[in-house]
Amino acid sequence: MSQLSEIQTGFARAVLNAKDPVPEGVESHLRTKPLKRFGVYRNNVYVSLVSVLEGRFPVVARLLGEDFFKATARVFVEQNPPNSPVLMRYGGQFPEFLEIFEPVADLPWLGDVARLEWAWNLAYHAADREPVGSEALAAIDPSTAASLHAEFHPAVQLIRSVYPVVTIWSENSKDGEPDHIDAGAGGEDGLIVRPGIAVEVRHLPLGGAAFIAALTKGKTLGEAAEAAFEEDTAFDLQANIAGLIASGAIAELRAG
């Protein structure tokens, strides 16, 4: 007689491996191995996980078309079963999977589109926090601005891509036919914020991502501005600070 945990492990393995036989302990009233019935169970597990991915990556699903997406997602589910019982955490490896999945090799930007959608999901489920308000900002002496440290809102996500990922995403997340997009038009960086309850995806200006990345690493406003100028001399410091504050990306600005 097997231990319960062994039966459960064997059952779980058989559910996710379509070629495995019906697991030990699973019998029908006819005392035969119910291969078809177990197949129904197995299929329900796949179908529900595929539909989780479809809901989480709607733009990737639209770009690939329903049938192709479902077939792709099924292969992903086979190779990456959930490792958490919380479904909102499922699908984090999907972007990397798309980058090495041979049938979509001619869509090299697809992984970054999925990455943006995953970041959207993280922002959606992130903790609530009030973004920095005008009173707190007014209390800061501008002459100390260069040494300020920024604490970001928990929902903030940064996306950097060598493809026009923000345009691809936004054109395909609205109703109607997307505009023509030149995938070779150059890279785009995006900032994902959720100051209240609605997730927003913003296209960052030149140097903006380097600025935010430096601030995230604990650099001061002055150091981050230098990092941004180093990446792109067209970096507009004033517009970037204003953009970060107005978008609700910053939770707190601290001295020193």
Binding site for another protein (CB under 8 A): 55, 58, 128, 131, 134, 137-138, 140, 142-148, 195-197, 221-222, 225-226, 229, 237-239, 241-242, 245-246, 248
Nearer to another protein, 141 or 182 (CB): 141
Our CB check for another protein shows the closer of 99 and 223 to be 223
Q: Which residues contact 98 (CB under 8 A, 6 or more apart)?
A: 60, 72, 104, 110, 111, 114
Q: How far is the CB of 58 from another protein (least distance, A)?
A: 8
Q: What angle do CA 90, 38, 65 make, to 5 degrees?
A: 45
Judging by DSSP bridges, how do beta strands 149-152 and 250-254 pair with one another? antiparallel
Shortest distance (Å) from residue 165 CB to another protein: 22
Q: How far is the CB of 216 from another protein (least distance, A)?
A: 18
Q: How far is CA 24 from CA 2, 21, 83, 157, 174, in A?
A: 9, 9, 23, 45, 49
Residue with smaller CB distance to another protein, 17 or 147 = 147
In terms of CB distance, is 38 or 211 closer to another protein? 211
* CA nearest to 96, candidates 73, 72, 112, 120: 112
DSSP state of 145: G
Least Å from the CB of residue 3 to another protein? 31
